[in-house]
Amino acid sequence: MAERVLVFDTTLRDGEQSPGASMNIEEKLRIARQLERLRVDVIEAGFPIASVGDFESVREVAQQVRECCIAGLARARFADIDRAWEALSGAENPRIHTFIATSPIHRQHKLGMTQDQVVEAAVAAVRRAVRYTSNVEWSAEDAGRTELDFLCRIVTAVIDAGAKTVNIPDTVGYTMPEEFGARIAYLVQHVDNIHKAVISVHCHNDLGLAVANSLAAVANGARQVECTINGLGERAGNASLEEVVMALRTRRDYLPFQNLETRVETTEIIRTSRLVSTITGFPVQPNKAIVGANAFAHESGIHQDGVLKEVTTYEIMTPESVGLATNRMVLGKHSGRHAFKERLRELGYELEDEQLDRAFRRFKGLADMKQELLDADIQALVDDEVIREDDYYHLGRLHVASGTQDTPVAAVTIHVGDGKILHATGSGVGPIDAVFQAIHKLIPEAGAARLNLYQVSAVTGGMDAQAVVTVRLEQGGRLVQGQGADNDVIVASARAFINALNKLVRRENTPRKGV
Ligand code: KIV
Ligand code: ZN
């Protein structure tokens, strides 16, 4: 019988702590539903005491996602734990995840607590959580830099207090794989009651070692890995879920992984990666392992020749195994609404009738202009529709004139949620600047917002490819990302800018406390 390695996804909590990656409730729900399809074991849905928005999203995910365990984060404080439970109590399988820092640096400079005080607070927190549920996880923040004897002592104490999972984070991404693996082996050997809990690891990527450290931990006895889609997360990010899962699967022949399996449906990996990238506005680098655009592309003649003769010459896993085989020509301008709906269903989208009508109208418009419509085109188009559904401001008409001789000018119409239609013109150093200047005049919230990222990527190859534009705006220390897709790059830019401004308007995006 194979032994299970549990996959704990923290995209919605640690991933959301990436500057600019904050998501609203609807966006978090979409990701959570996709994580359910991906069959992760645990979804960390947020940090309920951090903000009202976080609380609400944990509660919604807990109520709507029934096939995964739902975790909520809490510091070692009763108020945090009580609030986490309030958000989680509607879940089919809730988990309270409580943590406290254990390293000397954190104890001295952050907490101002002695070892005894930290043990006491950790045990009290676990006992409080156990009053609500037996599914309690405890984390030793900065465990990677904690004295081993103290780590053993506190782990023993929290397991005695009822923790069923003990998480050993490399919070600052400091350790080396051998060292981190040895740390886990030491706990296995020196903590008498360790068999009563699952050992989990949570590695950050500051030295690019998060996945290597997580795998070294698994090789030494860890049976839960905390990770995020696309490696999103605080600073340089967390261990990337897709890399950990595919390494365990592809290297089942490697002795330490021989009898291990995850329950992840790997064919959902690409879809999940794209959804997270679209919603957060964080593009995936082309050479990113597993999910990058080039991860399965063979460019050199020698490689192409080898792959044509025998695919395993240069491919250690198949594109199909991660869900990449479906990027074929799917529909054209003669396709009907029914075929479109069916294809969307296969791609994992369940749209309401009204959403479907809008998406279908745009699909027809695109099919008139673009000869080959690939799955990626349809995904970009539908994501674009769904993304702006809760928006208060929508782009109406847009007209731009620019060229080598004239000052670029733009005329923009915006439809407002209260039924008003606004119109303004603007000029700028280029056509996109002109559009943004016009929008500035129409949306008061744009006033103080500073553009600190503007990025364009093509959805597919070809001269007629759709553009996806990402903009990042900053206002009063708050960062938001907006996205827009269209076959016209200026229209896509206007959509992205307006989408970001809508996020600034939303109440739930009030500044939040991170961990
Ligand atoms: O990096 C870390 O230590 C964390 C804990 C809260 C698990 O995110
Ligand atoms: Zn973390």
Note the pLDDT of residue 514: 58
| Top mutation candidate among 75, 138, 171 for ligand 1, by most atoms within 8 Å of CB | 171
pLDDT in tens, 79-125: 999 999 999 999 999 999 999 999 999 999 999 999 999 999 999 99
Nearest to 43 by CA among 69, 73, 75, 14: 69
pLDDT in tens, 295-311: 887 767 777 778 788 88
* 310 and 249 assigned to the same domain: no
Sequence-separated (6 or more) residues with CB below 8 Å from residue 47: 13, 54, 72, 73, 74, 513, 515
Nearest CA, atom 2, ligand 1? 171
Q: 185-189, 386-390, 452-456 — which is least confidently predicted? A: 386-390
Counted domains in the chain: 4
* 22 and 168 assigned to the same domain: yes
CB 485 within 8 A of CB 465: no
Nearest CA, atom 5, ligand 1? 141
| Mean pLDDT computed over every residue of the chain | 92
* 410 and 380 assigned to the same domain: no
- Asked if pLDDT for residue 174 goes beyond 90, the answer is yes
Relative to the CA of 238, which ligand 1 atom is closest? 1
Nearest CA, atom 7, ligand 1? 139
- Asked if pLDDT for residue 392 goes beyond 60, the answer is yes
Crossing angle, helix 375-387 and helix 269-280, to 10 degrees?
A: 40
Crossing angle, helix 269-280 and helix 241-250, to 10 degrees?
A: 170
* 13 and 58 assigned to the same domain: yes
| Strand residues in 344-436 grouped as ranges (E) | 373-374, 393-401, 409-416, 421-427
CB 445 within 8 A of CB 505: yes
- Asked if pLDDT for residue 389 goes beyond 80, the answer is no
DSSP state of 93: S
pLDDT band at 328 (very low <50, low <70, confident <90, very high): low
491 or 326: which leads in pLDDT: 491
Cα-based torsion angle of the residue sequence 434, 437, 438, 442 in order, rounded to the nearest 10 degrees: 170
* 367 and 490 assigned to the same domain: no
For residue 231, being part of any structural domain is answered with yes
For residues 415-440, average pLDDT: 95
Distance 451 CA to ligand 2 centre (A): 28
Note the pLDDT of residue 109: 98
Sequence-separated (6 or more) residues with CB below 8 Å from residue 366: 373, 377, 381, 466, 487
* Bridge partners (DSSP) listed for residue 421: 415
For residue 332, being part of any structural domain is answered with no
Question: How far is residue 368's CA from residue 334's CA, in Å, rounded to a whole number?
Answer: 10
Note the pLDDT of residue 464: 83
* 375 and 495 assigned to the same domain: no
pLDDT band at 329 (very low <50, low <70, confident <90, very high): low
Q: Which SS3 state, helix, strand or coil, does residue 513 take?
A: coil
CATH number of the domain within which 398 lies: 3.30.160.270
Note the pLDDT of residue 509: 43
Distance 115 CA to ligand 1 centre (A): 19
CB 436 within 8 A of CB 497: yes
CB 435 within 8 A of CB 414: no
Nearest CA, atom 8, ligand 1? 14
Note the pLDDT of residue 136: 98
- Asked if pLDDT for residue 508 goes beyond 50, the answer is no
CA distances from 471 to 19, 380, 442, 451 (A): 13, 16, 18, 7
Percent of the chain with pLDDT over 70: 97
pLDDT band at 65 (very low <50, low <70, confident <90, very high): very high
* 206 and 310 assigned to the same domain: no
pLDDT in tens, 184-208: 999 999 999 999 999 999 999 999 9
289 or 304: which leads in pLDDT: 289
- Asked if pLDDT for residue 511 goes beyond 50, the answer is no
Pocket lining for ligand 1, CB < 6 angstroms: 14, 99, 139, 141, 167, 169, 171, 202, 204, 515
Distance 85 CA to ligand 2 centre (A): 21
For residue 131, being part of any structural domain is answered with yes
Taking phi first (over 0 means left), then psi (-120 to 50 degrees means alpha), and beta for anything else, what does residue 477 get? left
* 166 and 67 assigned to the same domain: yes
Nearest to 169 by CA among 218, 212, 203: 203
Relative to the CA of 167, which ligand 1 atom is closest? 7
Question: How far is residue 450's CA from residue 500's CA, in Å, rounded to a whole number?
Answer: 11
Q: Minimum-distance ligand to the CA of 237?
A: 2
For residue 330, being part of any structural domain is answered with no
For residue 512, being part of any structural domain is answered with no
Half-sphere exposure of 294 (CA within 13 A, CB side): 7
Note the pLDDT of residue 452: 86
For residue 200, being part of any structural domain is answered with yes
Is the pTM higher than 0.75? The answer reads: yes
For residues 333-339, average pLDDT: 85
For residues 385-396, average pLDDT: 85
Note the pLDDT of residue 331: 79
* 458 and 488 assigned to the same domain: yes
Distance 452 CA to ligand 1 centre (A): 28
Domain boundaries, position 304? 296-324
Relative to the CA of 99, which ligand 1 atom is closest? 6
Relative to the CA of 142, which ligand 1 atom is closest? 3
Note the pLDDT of residue 278: 84
* 262 and 352 assigned to the same domain: no
For residue 289, being part of any structural domain is answered with no
Q: Minimum-distance ligand to the CA of 234?
A: 2
DSSP state of 283: P
pLDDT band at 510 (very low <50, low <70, confident <90, very high): very low
428 or 504: which leads in pLDDT: 428
* 448 and 376 assigned to the same domain: no
CATH number of the domain within which 16 lies: 3.20.20.70
- Asked if pLDDT for residue 481 goes beyond 90, the answer is no
Question: How far is residue 459's CA from residue 160's CA, in Å, rounded to a whole number?
Answer: 53
For residue 511, being part of any structural domain is answered with no
Distance 512 CA to ligand 2 centre (A): 16
* 207 and 306 assigned to the same domain: no
- Asked if pLDDT for residue 339 goes beyond 60, the answer is yes
Distance 37 CA to ligand 2 centre (A): 24
Distance 101 CA to ligand 1 centre (A): 9
